[in-house]
A and B are shown apart, each in its own frame.
Chain A
Amino acid sequence: METDFEALKKRYLSEMMQYKPQETPSESSQDINPQTSSETERGMCSEMSQEQGKESPLALPPTETTPEKSAPLDLPPSSEWTPSPAENEKSFRTETPLPDSSVEETPITEQDPEDTDTAFLVVQVFSANEAIPISDAYVTVTRERNGEEVLIHFALTDESGKTPVMELPALPAELSEESGNPHPYVSYNIRTDHQGYYSVKNVNVPVFGGITSIQPVEMVPVPEKEDDNREMLVMESQAPNL
């Protein structure tokens, strides 16, 4: 039996696979249908393990252990899915989160040979002009590789609305210190979800070697009586004209 956390993570990954970052971002809603989950059997599942009962997901070894990976994923119908952060709180969130306590690490099996440096990322989630920090938001960091979204990090925000500092493979800083290199940075995609708010997708977020990026995510409440989390706000970063 899976924990809610595990089911949630699978659902996110299946939705990630659907999203193509090259599309022109628009403000209109983007409906992600988790029912078409046939693609989720590849790659992703093998890196996750299935836990019985409600053990803390932090204890999960990041290697494949399950014989179930060839079976189609049974995701709950979207309308019935509700995250229950209150229950999950005990299992993976401590009162004062330590740097790694709420980050589930997944090994990056293929590393781009040019990514010899490390960048750092913190996602900061809030509402109402930073007056309200949003805790327990689900943050997923992925990278596009060969047309697929590869999971790099999955984290929860703490009581101040911040994720722990996440390390990302990056290009060496020297490439951006001289003109002539058109793309001296690596780009990642970030998705943020929380019940009661529109989900947010930040696309093509650039990171530089040795530099910490802070991704602010302002969340907008969903009007009452509307389907939660069916729409998504998409924001795409752009390169400087250098």
Chain B
Amino acid sequence: MIGYPYIPRTITVHLGAPDSYAQNVTVSFPDYIKNVASSEIYPTWPENALRANIYAQVSVALNRVYTEWYRSRGYDFDITSSTQYDQYFVKGRDIFENISKLVDELFNDYIRRQGYIEPLFAQFCNGTTVTCDGLSQWGSVTLAKQGKTPYEILTRYYGNDIDLVFNAPIQDITPSYPGSPLRNGSRGTDVRLLQVRLNRISKNYPAIPKISPVDGIFGDQTESAVRKFQQIFNLTSDGIVGKRTWYRIAYIYASVTRLAQLYSEGTELVGNSLQYTGLLREGDQGNRVRVLQYMLALLSQYNQEIPWVSVDGIFGPRTRSAVLSFQQTFGLSPDGVVGPLTWDRLYRTYASIINSPYYGEEAVAAPYPGSPLSIGSSGSSVSLLQQYLGLISSVYTTIPQVPVTGYFGEITKNAVRIFQSEAGLTVDGIVGPATWNAIANTYENLLNGAVRNPGQFPGYTLREGM
């Protein structure tokens, strides 16, 4: 990593010593730390001891990621689960609720040596059967019982020349927490973003009541939705969106929308034949590789052992690694080559996901029509554009309503400009691929967020023609 340390969205853990033959799992960074903390220490310890240990665990992990310790040595993971080399991680273990809440607060805070940028490799050990030049886990308990703060505990073991860095940015999780909590009575764009996200999440988690209207004003409806979200995701259910709740919402929203995006990409690929038509191996390129990669990418959302692959049509080392993981997970002969057995198994796994009740419920916008739309354009693509802007304008009220005429006139251009301004795009009133995709994504998220499940409060009032 070059530049300022950030928190990786996910981390890949090798389930053994570095050179051992073992699986890798990829998990979200907060979930990784929750697992480490629950595996390394006892949850009954005083809170300041827990905090000090968690800071050390976060710092160890960030150090490995920032220095690319394993990746630079040719390994395909960020850290191991071995206490001999790194820190304990036990796949699939239980997480202690009090530790979970602390990690939700601390996962993007870390220790660094003054004058240095990289996160400190904050070595630790139990302090009884093993001693080391770093934090003593049992020692931290004693110090906490004596009333020491987490920082005091850390300086005792790492020296006085350390800093705690708070609220580091998180990869792909934007925007960052606004800095002060949002609560009943708050207003603004952060509140509106919150409302849009909660509504979108509530489509997958119908126990969360809908918020309507989405107006950027934090009222009782928003508070109810926040409380329910907190209760489901094991946060203190106080209806206040502090840092913990903000990031938890961001992570769940990212999961939900990433899956939705994959589904909508799949509708384009479905046109391609899914029959096995010959071996695929590293070095191959083309559409069949795309289809392979797409199935692996969708599967990686459902299985921690399959790493993410980008769908670029080129069978490189990452694709091979994903194929290997798939073969290992499903008991096939792990050779990294996709023959008839591997393809068949992959296809059947993909089919089971497609045929599950959650597939096909995503509202999907049309893809970019291929050439830009601007003043004077007309036709079905313009009608679609106006339709999408219509829904968006009912929620983002700074965007004026646009009648669906199929003709791109001044009204449409004006609305496009305002949308571009709000979305941080070039304000030119022309709908090229970037603007189209931004409008389409916003439309999809709003529409999916408006879907009401039985028992849920109504969502947005959609105007006729939606």
Contact = CB atoms under 8 A, between A and B. Distances in A.
A174 B42 CA distance: 11
Contact of B95 (A127, A209, A216): A216
Interface string A209-242: 1111111111011111110000001010110111
Contact of A208 (B43, B258, B330, B351): B43
A159 B208 CA distance: 10
Interface stretch (B106-114, B300-308, B395-403, B436-444): B300-308
Given A129-B301, A177-B45, A214-B100, A224 B355 contact: yes
A19 to B, nearest CB: 16
A95 B455 CA distance: 8
A130 B44 CA distance: 27
Nearest to B206: A159
Contact of A176 (B31, B42, B88): B42
Interface residues of B, number: 58
A79 B128 CA distance: 53
- Overall SS of chain A's interface: loop
A213 B94 CA distance: 6
B232 A162 contact: yes
B141 A160 contact: no
B304 A218 contact: yes
A164 interface: no
B302 A176 contact: no
A208 B95 contact: no
Nearest to A205: B94
A240 B87 CA distance: 11
B138 A242 contact: yes
A117 to B, nearest CB: 10
A1 interface: no
Contact of A240 (B88, B205, B303, B352): B88
Nearest to B228: A160
Given A209-B44, A216-B95, A196 B352 contact: yes
Interface string A163-178: 0000000000110110
Given A177-B42, A237-B94, A130 B255 contact: yes
B380 interface: no
The interface centre, meaning the residue of A205, A208, A213, A221 with most chain B CB atoms within 10 A of its CB, is A221
A235 B355 contact: no
The interface centre, meaning the residue of B44, B97, B232, B330 with most chain A CB atoms within 10 A of its CB, is B44
Given A128-B259, A212-B96, A223-B345, A160 B205 contact: yes
A130 B252 contact: yes
A185 B352 CA distance: 40
Given A27-B23, A132-B358, A223-B345, A214 B41 contact: no
Contacts of A210: 44
Please name the 6 residue pairs, one residue from A and one from B, whose CB atoms are nearest each other, closest first: A235-B92, A223-B348, A212-B97, A176-B42, A213-B94, A223-B349
Interface of B: 23, 28, 31, 39-45, 83, 88, 90-98, 100, 126, 128-130, 137-138, 141, 204-207, 232, 234, 251-252, 255-256, 258-259, 301-304, 329-331, 345, 348-349, 351-353, 355-356, 358, 455
11 contacts: A28-B331, A127-B302, A130-B251, A131-B301, A177-B42, A213-B95, A214-B100, A224-B355, A240-B42, A240-B88, A241-B88
